[in-house]
């Protein structure tokens, strides 16, 4: 029996118990040690993005491998692992061209006709696995291509946030934007993803790192993590401030909120030839665009789902950055909470005040 936070209906989570199946040939059973609360979970909890229910959210986790299926070669019992929702098949067009974050991961899930990975505690009905993981649970049963082993010296609560926020924010800088030392980078939104992007921009050697957020406490956190300048996102002259700091706009603008206004702001603060990268999950009817003059100025607009990660390579490198004191995960994590306080944690996230809350399992 596994204790979990279950989304029974839109609005809030219920603590209950579920039953996990035995690992299939390519599956891994993991004792979850920590799972971060991500804004993307909220889109499903609040019903902005539809999902079959009941389901267990949570997709930013770290834990210890308990058991593996007969064909699993990549991890073994006792390994410390970080999970990633970008489960990849390894043989589709996207995987073989190095863009595995775009893989639909079809054969990383069980067949519709097979026994589900997660069932009600009494075995009466399936519980949907969310984003290949369902990590707000004491244990996860996932495909081997949805986790990677890491250095055992890495604290697992800090490892957890690498699984989504840091992979996405740092991936935008390293993978999607390929920031060149000296370039000017602006990050709009300083939650977990945005703060990770700020920190990664410093690691990449960006010349100017401009953190844009309406909340003073988040701008202060961004400064701790490497922002060279901060701008109040609500200021009437926010665009002018960025233009003045950079002498004509940034090379890279990164949207880490998921709002129309912040995506539009990213396009406005680009210099000629600059690129806007949208990371946030926007409401499904949103559209971001480039005007005629933007196109004539050689501006580019791109999405970068999950930081266009190649997580089996990226995650151990990010762990190494933390161990060497380059990646500041201690500042990104605001609090550690037990599973029972998960709804309070999400309420804080709705308010936008907290950097990252992490559920820890003992």
Query: Where along the sequence are the contacts to Zn ion (CB under 5 A)?
Result: 38, 40, 88-89, 92, 95, 103, 164
Closer to Zn ion by CB, 140 or 231: give it: 140
For tokens 């649970």, what's the residue? Answer: 137
- The residue (of 220 and 360) whose beta carbon lies closer to Zn ion is 360
**54 preceded by cis ω (within 30°)?**
yes
* Residue 275 CB, nearest approach to Zn ion (Å): 22
Helices in 182-310 by DSSP H: which ranges?
192-203, 216-225, 238-246, 260-268, 292-296
Cβ nearer to Zn ion, comparing 246 with 346: 346
Residue with tokens 């990975």: 117
What's the closest the beta carbon of residue 123 comes to Zn ion, in angstroms? Answer: 30
Q: ∠ CA 58-187-344 to the nearest 5 degrees?
A: 35
Whose Cβ is closer to Zn ion: residue 95's or residue 269's?
Answer: 95
Q: Supply the minimum distance, in Å, between the C-beta of residue 274 and Zn ion.
A: 26
Least spacing, CB of residue 297 vs Zn ion, in Å = 33
Nearest distance in Å: CB 245, Zn ion: 30
Least distance to Zn ion, CB of residue 285, Å: 21
* Cβ-Cβ contacts under 8 Å for 138 (sequence gap 6 or more): 2, 3, 4, 31, 32, 361
Q: Work out the widest C-alpha separation in the chain, in whole angstroms.
A: 64
Tokens 């009466």 locate to 124
Sign, Cα dihedral of 178, 243, 166, 87: negative
Of 89 and 288, CB closest to Zn ion = 89
How far apart are the C-alpha atoms of 190 and 354, rounded to whole Å?
10
Nearer to Zn ion, 135 or 269 (CB): 135
Ramachandran quadrant class, 178 (left: phi over 0; alpha: psi -120 to 50; beta: rest): left
Distances (CA, A) of 153 to 64, 95, 200, 312: 13, 30, 22, 18
Nearest to 352 by CA among 263, 223, 259: 259
Nearer Cβ to Zn ion (130/186): 130
Distance CA 171, CA 359 (A): 24
Strand partners, 35: 61, 359
Nearer to Zn ion, 267 or 282 (CB): 282
* Cβ 196 vs Cβ 175: under 8 Å: no
What's the closest the beta carbon of residue 164 comes to Zn ion, in angstroms? Answer: 3
Nearest distance from C-beta of residue 3 to Zn ion, angstroms: 22
């Amino acid at each position: 029996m596994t204790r979990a936070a279950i989304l029974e209906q839109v609005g809030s989570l219920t603590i209950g118990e579920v039953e996990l199946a035995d690992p299939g040939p390519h599956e891994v059973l993991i004792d979850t040690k920590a799972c971060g609360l991500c804004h993307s979970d909220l889109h499903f909890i609040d019903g902005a993005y539809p999902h079959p229910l009941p389901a267990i959210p949570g997709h930013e986790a770290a834990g210890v491998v308990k058991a593996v299926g007969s064909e699993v070669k990549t991890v073994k019992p006792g390994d410390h692992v970080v999970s990633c929702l970008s489960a990849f098949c390894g043989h589709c067009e996207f995987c073989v061209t190095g863009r595995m974050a775009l893989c639909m991961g079809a054969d990383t899930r069980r067949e519709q006709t097979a026994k589900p990975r997660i069932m009600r505690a009494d075995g009466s009905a399936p519980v949907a696995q969310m984003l290949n993981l369902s990590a707000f649970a004491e244990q996860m049963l996932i495909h081997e291509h949805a986790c990677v082993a890491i250095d055992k010296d890495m604290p697992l609560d800090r490892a957890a946030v690498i699984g989504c926020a840091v992979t996405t924010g740092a991936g935008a800088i390293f993978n999607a934007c390929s920031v060149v030392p000296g370039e000017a980078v602006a990050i709009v939104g300083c939650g977990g993803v945005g703060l990770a992007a700020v920190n990664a921009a410093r690691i990449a050697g960006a010349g100017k790192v401009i953190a844009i957020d309406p909340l003073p406490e988040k701008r202060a956190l961004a400064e701790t993590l490497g922002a060279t300048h901060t701008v109040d996102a609500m200021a009437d002259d926010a665009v002018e401030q960025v233009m003045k700091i950079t002498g004509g706009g940034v090379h890279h603008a990164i949207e880490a909120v998921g709002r129309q206004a912040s995506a539009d702001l990213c396009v406005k603060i680009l210099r000629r030839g600059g690129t806007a990268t949208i990371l946030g999950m926007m409401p499904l009817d949103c559209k971001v665009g480039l005007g005629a003059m933007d196109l004539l100025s050689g501006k580019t607009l791109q999405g970068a789902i999950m930081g266009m990660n190649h997580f089996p390579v990226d995650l151990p490198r990010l762990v190494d950055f933390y161990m060497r004191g380059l990646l500041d995960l201690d500042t990104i994590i605001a609090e550690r909470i037990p599973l029972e306080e998960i709804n309070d944690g999400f309420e804080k996230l709705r308010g936008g005040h907290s950097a990252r809350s992490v559920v820890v399992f003992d």
